[in-house]
A and B are shown apart, each in its own frame.
Chain A
Amino acid sequence: MSQAIASLRSRPRHDSSSRLMVIGGAMLAALAVIALLAPVIAPHDPEAVEVRRVLGAPDFLHPFGSDVLGRDVLSRVIYGLRVSLIVSLSAVAGSLLFAVPLGLIAGYFGRWIDTTVSRGLDLILVFPAMLLAVTFIAILGPGSVVAAIAIAVIYLPILARVMRTSTLIVSRNDYVTGARARGASHWRVLASHIAPNALGPVIVQASVLSAFALQLEAGLSFLGLGTQPPTPSLGGMLADGREVLIQAPWVEIFPGLAIVVAVLAFTFLGEGLRRAFDPKGVAE
């Protein structure tokens, strides 16, 4: 027993969480600004074809070089980043819009409501993410909007489940029972007591999932199923760059780097949030 006591280490302090949040937040803010100001910042029209600049190496005018159609890679990366951020963030936001209410009612009312919602969501979980996305696109056709919808549906069960668990924990508190005894209707209890106290972990989960959403969007665009050309997309650029990897590596490297940076930013922020607001690990 002395071993058992001695081997448990005390928890790390909160310093790491704030550092991570700041770094991740700063990176995201920078990326968001770049994306928002794309029309202003991008030095060239991302869709402008310049035959003379085909596969041009990076130089002063084109810091990231030019691609197979002579288009400026830097501008395309900026616009592509914009698309990636918009699609992934709106997908997660859309998912939350449905996941939060579903999780709340499943966790609060329990019994058959919980069973129905949970089993319904489980059905979505059965399918691998990519397969589900591809199926969506096969039915609804390719494009950014469909990609966003598909991603939203894919992450709906995870977010709903985290919300449900959090709701279960919060509902057990006496202040919830007290509110009911003091005349609060179920809806009042859900809105004023449960939701505010239960949202923490699902926000954490949402920021962590944003990193995955971004990768998923890039993956779909890579396959040609997401954002359609000529609209620049990071995944699409990765696909195009493959063929010219040897003679013009910059066409592949820069979009790839952009994806990595964006994913890291979301991951840092999400992890920092998790350490600060969800140390018990309700989020998955």
Chain B
Amino acid sequence: MGELLTVAHLSKSFAASGGLPWRRRRIAAVTDVSLGVERGRTLGLVGESGSGKSTLGRCILGLVKPDEGQIRFDGIEVQGLSGRRLQDFRRRVQPVFQDPYGSLDPRWPVGKSVREALDCFRIGTASDRDRRVRDLFARVGLNPTLMGRLPSHLSGGQRQRVGIAAALASEPELIIADEPVSALDMSVQAQILNLFLDLQQDLGVASIFITHDLGVVQHVSDTVAVMLRGAIVETGDTDRVMTRPHHSYTKNLLAAVPRPR
């Protein structure tokens, strides 16, 4: 069967801003990263700020073109895709973002944001789409009466649920979630994590859960990859990495996590 997603020797650097164009320093965001995600499983991508985890996520989504390396999704090479085939890929891989404020268009009723994928990919008829949006709202635990509301009239947790519903609209096989619970209160975070676990179980969606929070990552991930300054320093089953870490950075991270109990 093979992996759903395979990343091989991926590298991406950016030009530092400022200065003459041909003399700008390059900042390496991602360096020689390789990882894999199995169908229906969750990979936790852990790293602190500047580790390159978000850039890696964007490369996998096909939104940023890597300098080197390969990304294979279900056997298809992602980098060279364009047109129809790129759209097909996009249907199958969807993002969930961190910031409940910036992840939804402030002028769009939230139902419209959830429907966006359906509209752009032209899935179903208009009434099909409305029905699907209702289903999605129910699935993420939101009352469908909220469909017409603007994001500013929802709480952070509710907005995040909308974001998840929007990601699920096109029935993706892989979700890239970039710090989806970091901006939420602890109690709300717990609810959203439960939602993730439920969705994993019910829908069998694979996901890459990007976060800096070790407590969160060990709770939802089957496998873990630890990133430091653009490179992966350790990967493996969550249980193994959390209890018997090999790399000194992983050990430091684990030791630094404040434990309430």
Contacts and interface: CB of A to CB of B under 8 A. Distances in A.
B209 interface: no
Interface stretch (B23-31, B41-49, B104-112, B245-253): B104-112
Contacts of A177: 58, 63, 95, 97
Contacts of B189: none
A180 B97 CA distance: 13
Nearest to A183: B120
A182 B121 contact: yes
Interface residues of A, number: 17
Interface string A194-237: 00110000000000000000000000000000000000000000
B97 A182 contact: no
A145 B104 CA distance: 44
Contacts of A59: none
Interface string B47-70: 000000000001001110000000
A172 B62 CA distance: 17
B102 interface: yes
A196 B106 CA distance: 10
B103 A182 contact: no
Interface string A147-167: 000000000000000000000
Given A183-B87, A193-B105, A196-B107, A178 B120 contact: no
A175 interface: yes
A180 B102 contact: no
Contacts of B93: 181
A168 to B, nearest CB: 12
Contact of B120 (A174, A175, A182, A197): A182
19 contacts: A173-B103, A174-B98, A175-B102, A177-B63, A177-B95, A178-B95, A178-B116, A178-B163, A178-B166, A179-B116, A181-B95, A182-B94, A182-B120, A182-B166, A182-B169, A183-B87, A196-B107, A197-B106, A197-B107
Q: Contact residue range for chain B?
A: 20 to 34
Contacts of A181: 61-63, 90, 93-95
Interface of A: 172-175, 177-185, 188, 193, 196-197
Contacts of A172: 102
Contacts of A178: 95, 97, 103, 116, 163, 166
The 4 closest A-B pairs by CB, nearest first: A183-B120, A182-B117, A174-B97, A174-B103
Contact of B104 (A175, A183, A184): A175
B99 interface: yes
Given A175-B104, A197-B105, A182 B98 contact: no
A178 B167 CA distance: 9
Contacts of B91: 183
B170 A182 contact: yes
A42 to B, nearest CB: 44
A202 B89 CA distance: 37
Contacts of A180: 63
Contacts of B106: 197
A1 B221 CA distance: 44
A182 B90 contact: yes
Contacts of B62: 181
B158 interface: no
